[in-house]
Chain A
Amino acid sequence: MFAFIVRRITQAILVMLIISLIGFAIKQSVGDPIREITGISVSAAEREALREKLGLNDPFLVQWLRFIGKALQGDLGNSFYFKRPALQVILTKAPATLELVFSTSIIVVLLSVPIGIYAAVRPRSWLSRFFMGASIVGVSIPVFLSAILLIYVFSVGLGWLPSYGRGELVEIVPGWQSGYFTIDGLKHLILPSIALSSIMLPLFIRLIRAEMKEVLETEYIKFARAKGLKPGRILFVHAFKNTLLPVITVGGVQLGTLIAFTILTETVFQWKGMGSMFIESVERADTDLMVAYLVFVGFIFVTVNTLVDLVYGLVNPTVRISGRK
């Protein structure tokens, strides 16, 4: 088990290094930091002097290491547009995205598990067919389209729910503006969360159903029946845990999809989170902020994926005891 942990963490560090390399390479090749600092009307000689002083003529490797060093201290460059450190900008916007992701995850977990299990256990019932049909349709509608449709029906058409922004916010912790604690904030959360879930939910329902179906066909489930165990126990003790394992693995990968879709959703709902910030930084060619976002999101991915792998290792006895995967 210990070997497993060490290996996973080493892998994580390696991947972070590669991400930092890519981010750094982007910074180097795109945009000219000198121009951003000094403007146009500065002589070539002065510009060259400035380059030398800032260490911009040093070899690639040296500059990269410097980049990593600064990143580890929390310095990911400065946002050209916001005139503030990039990391700071990201952190102010992060709570918005996190709250959205959190609400969506709750919806997805609470709904996909029972529906997925039901669809696997009673595949021929009309309810199951309905859910599977709805899932295919759900997966075929891009998230931004469902967002727009939701806005059109519930905002423009019925006027029940707001169509943009986060609404009234409450600062629960310094730097964290939360929308969970006001009715208005919650109202603003509803449509974006539903839009995001509309594409994640079908994914998970299909996944859980597929895994559960496979588990239900195994020999050990047949043996459990031969032992005369009650059907409830067979389903929730024998089958469920085995279904959960691959779902955790694949689910972890879906995190990336979730964050990508968050970018789209935030754009539609003008939700002031990291996603819309990223799009704006691309439009404005705010390279530092773009790269900072890349590294930050990369860090989140790697951390979450590593955690998911570790949890999987803890939960799956075949890994925990023999230490190998």
Chain B
Amino acid sequence: MNNRDQLLSVKDLSISFKLRRGALTAVNRVSFDLAKGERLGLVGESGAGKSVTGFGILNLVSKPGRITGGSIHFEGRDLTRLSEEELRRIRGNRISMIFQDPMMTLNPVLTIGTQMEETLLAHRNISRREAAAIALDRIRKVAISSPEKRLKQYPHEFSGGMRQRIVIAIALLTSPALIIADEPTTALDVTIQADILELLLHLCESEQMGLILITHDLAVVSQVTDRIAVMYAGMIMETGSTEQIITKPQHPYTRGLLGALPQNIPRGGRLKQIPGVMPSPSSIPPGCPFGDRCLSCEDVCRREVPPLTPKEAGCLAACHLLD
């Protein structure tokens, strides 16, 4: 795939945490692309490194984590090479983020209006009144009633679902080219999750925005995304179209994941589980990280890390056995 037509092109991105007892690699040479307006789901278990990757794109990884290699091409520039000020101008402007828990994301002592207007004022040379008008428009877009009143209220005066809508509205303010949503529905009630996802989907389509949806929930991803990248222990195991991944998964890990979904088990049957647990960043085995738990593991798997390469079925997978 040519880098030039991609909106976002991540190549061999590595992020490690420098601790007292040594450096831990949380993200290990991760690569994926995103076309304009495309929606990619970044899927994996807790601790697989997906959130760190998401933050890494905007270089927002908490210390002592830092990007230790790779490149992130966006709109013609390599984000890993930019200064903090240049990055600041992209954050919240060309690339917006949505965090997991809206109660923690919004500052409790500032009004919604302030928190929305400041984003606009930080990136555009407009007056406060103009900013307020745009904020009003976005609040309407996320289906919140009596928007004028809302702008003057504080976060604790809203319900969880509404707060997340506000966060989405904030993400839309500058009409960004890309939204990175980190587990946007995990902290919400199940009944509200569907609404929020529907909203995100609709907005991305109508505004032609790219979306990276980071989640551990395969069901969520299957409804919203065009493509899926599966992460495990800091590495991408498989990338492909949503349909292909869900219906014809190639990588043993992806197969295991989908096999474990309750809806894929016949009624009354035993639930399937992948034996063992995902290794933590401090205890990743040599070779393929999934090796220990893989039912088809061979010697080569324990020795060499499998590269992410195109496979017959049209996807990219990191597995020695699929060649």
Residues of A within 8 A of B (CB): 218-220, 222-231, 233, 237-238, 241-242, 245, 316-318, 321-322
Contacts and interface: CB of A to CB of B under 8 A. Distances in A.
A223 B122 contact: no
Contacts of A245: 109
Contacts of A317: 108-109, 154, 156
A226 B58 contact: yes
A237 to B, nearest CB: 7
Given A222-B99, A321-B156, A228 B91 contact: yes
Interface in B69-114: 88-93, 96-97, 99, 101, 104-110
B88 A220 contact: no
B119 A229 contact: yes
Nearest to B109: A241
11 contacts: A219-B101, A220-B108, A226-B97, A227-B91, A227-B122, A228-B122, A233-B122, A238-B107, A245-B109, A317-B154, A318-B154
Given A317-B109, A318-B156, A321-B156, A227 B104 contact: no
Contacts of B90: 228
Given A228-B91, A242-B107, A223 B97 contact: yes
Given A219-B101, A223-B99, A230-B122, A238 B110 contact: yes
B105 A228 contact: no
A224 B60 contact: no
A316 B154 CA distance: 11
B170 interface: yes
Contacts, number: 76
Contacts of A233: 118, 122
Contacts of B91: 225-228
B91 to A, nearest CB: 4
Contacts of B97: 223, 226
B92 A228 contact: yes
A126 B69 CA distance: 30
A177 to B, nearest CB: 43
Nearest to B108: A318
A219 B60 CA distance: 12
B157 interface: yes
Interface string B35-68: 0000000000000000000000010101000000
A214 to B, nearest CB: 13
B84 to A, nearest CB: 9
B123 interface: yes
B53 to A, nearest CB: 15
Interface in B11-25: none
B256 to A, nearest CB: 32
B109 A321 contact: no
A218 B110 contact: no
Nearest to A222: B60
A219 B51 CA distance: 14
Contacts of B88: 228-231
Nearest to A242: B109
Nearest to A231: B88
A91 B90 CA distance: 62
Nearest 3 Cβ contacts at the A-B interface: A228-B92, A227-B92, A228-B91
A321 B157 contact: yes
A317 B118 CA distance: 19
B156 A226 contact: no
A18 B119 CA distance: 52
A243 to B, nearest CB: 10
Contacts of A219: 99, 101, 104-105
> Which of B60, B107, B154 counts the most A-chain CB atoms under 10 A from its CB?
B107
Contacts of A223: 97, 99, 105-106
Contacts of A238: 107, 110
B60 A226 contact: yes
A30 B19 CA distance: 63
Contacts of B107: 220, 224, 238, 242
Contacts of B122: 227-230, 233
A241 B90 CA distance: 26
Contacts of B105: 219-220, 223
B110 A227 contact: no
A229 B157 contact: no
A219 B154 CA distance: 17
A240 B238 CA distance: 45
A222 B156 CA distance: 19
A222 B60 CA distance: 8
Given A227-B92, A242-B107, A245-B109, 11 more contacts: A220-B107, A220-B108, A222-B60, A223-B97, A226-B96, A227-B118, A227-B170, A228-B91, A228-B92, A228-B119, A238-B107
Nearest to B111: A317
A226 B62 CA distance: 12
B118 A242 contact: no
Nearest to B84: A231
A287 to B, nearest CB: 48
B290 to A, nearest CB: 31
Contacts of A237: 110, 118
Interface string B113-125: 0000011001100
Interface in B146-164: 154, 156-157
Interface string B133-151: 0000000000000000000
A231 B104 CA distance: 19
A241 B97 CA distance: 24
Contacts of A222: 60, 62, 99
